[in-house]
Structure 1
C-alpha cells in the first residue's frame, strides 16, 4: 500500500493534526481518490516512526471532518466527496482559513451593539402578540405597513395587503416558486444563478432551465426561444449585482425581458436581497411590471446577517396562492425578528446601517481594484463579491484547491451553473473577513492567477 502522499519530514506538532492535514490535502487535490483505503494504523505508525495512538487520533480527526469512514474489520477509507457545487461556501471555518466563500455584509462590533440595544428595548415593551399568537393576521398588520415604507426604499410601491412577511429571501423564493409554477412545468433563469435553485426546484417538482446571459444578464431572445420549446410558466431574475457575475441589468434589458414575459404570460420572480443597498440603480422589475412580478427582498445582505426576515410582494391575482403556500410551508415568519426589522425601519436604524454598509463595501471594492489590478474581474463598487473568470473548469477546480491549501476559501463558479453553458470562475466574497484578511486572501488569489498554467496544474 503506497504512502507516497505523505511527507514524514513535514510533520509538526501536534503530530496527529499535522498528519490529518497532510491526508486531507491529498484527498482535496486528488492524490487520494474516493474509496481509497488508508494504511492500517500499525503499518503507518511503523513507517512514520510515530505511535499507533497518534495515527488513531489523526484518523479520528479525519472522520470528524467527514473525509474518512472507519469500517470495523475492513479498515479506513476515503469517503466520497460531494461536488463543490452542492455547497459553494465553507461550512465551517477551521484554523486560520480566510473565508472568502460566504456572501455576507461587512459587520463590526457596532452591529452587535445595535442588536443588543433593540433586544433590551423589546424586553420592556414587546407586544404580547409577538410571543403569544399563532395567527399572522393578528401579529403582522402593523409590520406590513412598515414593510411598505421599506419597500419604497427598494424602489417598489406596494399595499400592505400584497405583502407577506418571510424568514428571509430563501423562504420568499420558495413560496414564490410554488405560487408561480405547477409540478412538471419550467422556470427559466440565468445560466449563472442562485446556487439553491436547482435542488429547490427538484424538491418542488419543477424544472429549472438555464437561459443564455451576456454582460447585463439574461438575453431576451434566448428566453423567447425557450418559451417556444418548453412549457415555461415563470422566469427567475437577479438583476442587481447579487447575481454571480456581479452584473447590473440596465433599464432597457429589464423592459425587454418584461415584454417577453407579457407575450408568453409568464410570472416573474425577482430576487433582490440587496434591497436599497445599491444606489442609482434602474427601477426594480417589480416597479415596471407589478401585475406579474413576485418581488423578494430581505435584511440579511444589506443590514445584518442574523436579521433573517424579509418581504414577498405579490400581485393581486397571485396573492391567494402566495398566502396559502406560505401557510402550508412556513405558517408564519418569526415574530421577534419581524419586530426587530420593523423597529429599525421606523426609527431609521435600518437605513443608517445600509448607508454604513455602502461606505464599507466601497472601501473594500477599492482594495479589490488595487490588489487585482491587471486581472480581468467583475465587480460592482457597492457589491458583496467579485467574479473572477478563468479559462476552463479544470483550472477552476485547481484554483479553488490551491487557494484552499494556502488557507483561502473561495466559491467555485460551477456552484452557480444552471444548464449546459459553462462559466468557469471563482467568486470572492469581500464582506465575510476582516480588511486585513481580505488583503491577504486577494494576495493569494493574485499570485495564483499570475502563476503559469503548467506549474499550477502540476501542483496537483
Structure 2
C-alpha cells in the first residue's frame, strides 16, 4: 500500500501550520492509519524543501492536537485511538492571549467587591449548621425555601421538597443523568450540544444520540424516530440560549417535544443555567411537563463565577433517585456558598446582578455587529457567546490555531458535536470573558482571519 505523503504545492504560510493541517486532514480522512510511522524530521524537510525546524514545529502541533505521538529513539506515529476528551476552552490563560474560549459572564471590580461584602457578612452571620453539620436535611431547609422564590423568577412554581442544592450546573446535570439513564440505555440530545455530555456518557455507561436541530432546537420528528428505534430513557436539552448555537426554542417547539416525551414516557432534562437573564423567553419545559422534567439552573453564568451553587428540581417519580445519586456523588452542596446565594436571592442582589449582566451583554452584542456583522454569526441579545460558521475551505483546527498565533483563544465547534452527521466547521466565541476593548481587538483578528489566506497576517516560518 502506498503511504500518503504531503503535497508541497499546498503548503502556505505559516508553513508549519499548513503542513500540520495537511497531516490532520489525512488522518481524519483515513489516509493515515493509527500506528503509521511518519518520516523523520530531516527526511521530510528534505523531501518538501523546508527547514528541519519547520517540520519539527508541525509535528509538535500535531502532538498538541493529539493526532500523533513522539517516542524517543523510535520516531513519530499516528495516534487516533480514543483519548480523554479535552475541554473546548484554554485550561489556563497563558501570556498575553485574549481568551474568548471560555464561557464566562462579564465581570468588573464591582463583582469582586460584592463577593468581599458577602464574605464579610458571612463571617458575622454564619449559622452553626452550615459550619458543623454533615446532614443535608439539617443544613438546607431554609435554602430550599429561598430556591422556591428563585424558581419563580425562572418561570416555575415548585415545592421546597422537589429542590436539591448542588455545587453548580455540572453537578446537577450529572446527578440528573445518573437518575434517569441506567448503563446501556440511551440519552438523546442536540446534535450540537453540551461539551461534557460525550465524556459523561462514556463514564456513566449510557449511549448518547445527537439529533438534528434547526433554528428552534431538536426536531420533534427526529426524537420520535429515535424513541421508536432505541432504548431512549431521556432527552437532554438546552432550550434557552446557553446551547452552542445560542438558540432560543419557541414555545410551540417545547410543547411538541413534551408531546413526544409523554407518548414514549421518557424523562426530559432541561438545562436552564441562564435562568431569568434571557428576556421574553417562553415558559420552561418543566412548567409544561412537571411530571417528567428534571430542571437545573445555577448562578455562575449570571452573577459571579465563584458562586458555584445550583438548583436541581425533580418530579416525584425521580425524587428518591436524585437524592441518592446526589449523596453518593457529592454528599451535599457547599453550605457556605449556599448561604451567600440565599442571601443574594433574598436581598435582591442576585436579580440586580442579572440585570447588570443583561445590559453588559447587549453592549457586547453591539460590538459583534460592528466588527463581524450581524448576518455572519448565530447569537442572541442575551447570549454569553456567538457561534461562527466557517467558510468551507477552512478547517476548525487550522482556524483556531491561526487565531491562537495571533493572540486570541477561541473554542473549536467539534467539541460540541454529539452525532456522526455531516459537519460544517464552526467556532464558539465567548463575549464575557474579557474587557470590551480586548473583545473588540479579538473579534477584529477573527474578522481578518475570515478574509482569506492569513499570510498577510503571519510571516512564513
When normalised by structure 2's length, the TM-score is: 0.83
Secondary structure of the equivalent of 1:367?
helix
* Cα deviations by residue, 1:147-204 (Å, 9 ceiling, x for unpaired): 0011111111110000000000000000100111211000000100000101101111
Equivalence for 1:378? 378
- In the alignment, the residues of structure 2 paired with residue 250 and residue 37 of structure 1 have an alpha-carbon distance, to the nearest angstrom, of 56
What residue number does 1:233 align with?
233
Query: Which residues of structure 2 form unaligned runs of 5+?
Result: 1-13, 28-36, 43-50, 52-56
Q: After TM superposition, give the deviation of residue 389 of structure 1 in Å.
A: 1.0
Residues in 2 aligned to 1:318 and 1:182: alpha-carbon distance in whole angstroms = 13
Secondary structure of 2:388's partner? strand
TM-score (norm 1): 0.83
Cα distance change of structure 1 residues 433 and 185 upon mapping to structure 2, 3 Å threshold? same
1:42 is matched with: none
Distance 2:405 2:20 in 1: 9
After TM superposition, what 4+ stretches of structure 1 lie above 6 angstroms from structure 2? 22-28, 30-39, 65-72, 75-85, 453-456
Alignment of 1:165-314 (within 5 A): 165-314=165-314
1:328 pairs with 2:325: no
Separation in 2, partners of 1:143, 1:216:
34
CA contact (8 A) 1:97 1:408 kept: yes
How far residue 378 of structure 1 moved from its aligned partner, in angstroms, is: 0.8
Cα separation, 1, equivalents of 2:293 and 2:39: 50
Q: Measure, in 2, the Cα distance between the counterparts of 1:228 and 1:375.
A: 38
Q: Does 1:356 align with 2:362?
A: no
Aligned-pair distance for 1:397? 2.3
Q: Distance in 1 between matches of 2:374 and 2:345?
A: 41
Q: Which residue of 2 aligns with 1:441?
A: 442
Aligned equivalents of 1:454, 1:228: Cα separation in 2: 51
1:126 is aligned to 2:142: no
| 1:451 positional shift | 1.6
* 1:415-451: CA deviation from partner (whole Å, max 9, x where unpaired): 0001112242110100001111100111011111122
CA gap of 1:36–1:430, structure 2 versus 1, over 3 A, is: farther
Shift of 1:84: 11
Over 3 Å counting, the alpha-carbon distance change for 1:23 and 1:66 in structure 2 is: farther
Cα offset for 1:79?
11
> Which segments of 5 or more consecutive residues in structure 1 lack a partner in the other structure?
1-21, 40-47, 49-57
**Could you tell me how far 1:392 is from its partner in structure 2?**
4.2
- Aligned pairs, how many? 417
1:34-58 deviation digits (Å, cap 9, x = unpaired): 988778xxxxxxxx9xxxxxxxxx9
* CA distance in 1: counterparts of 2:78 and 2:308, whole angstroms: 34
User: For residue 420 of structure 1, what is the aligned residue in structure 2?
Assistant: 420
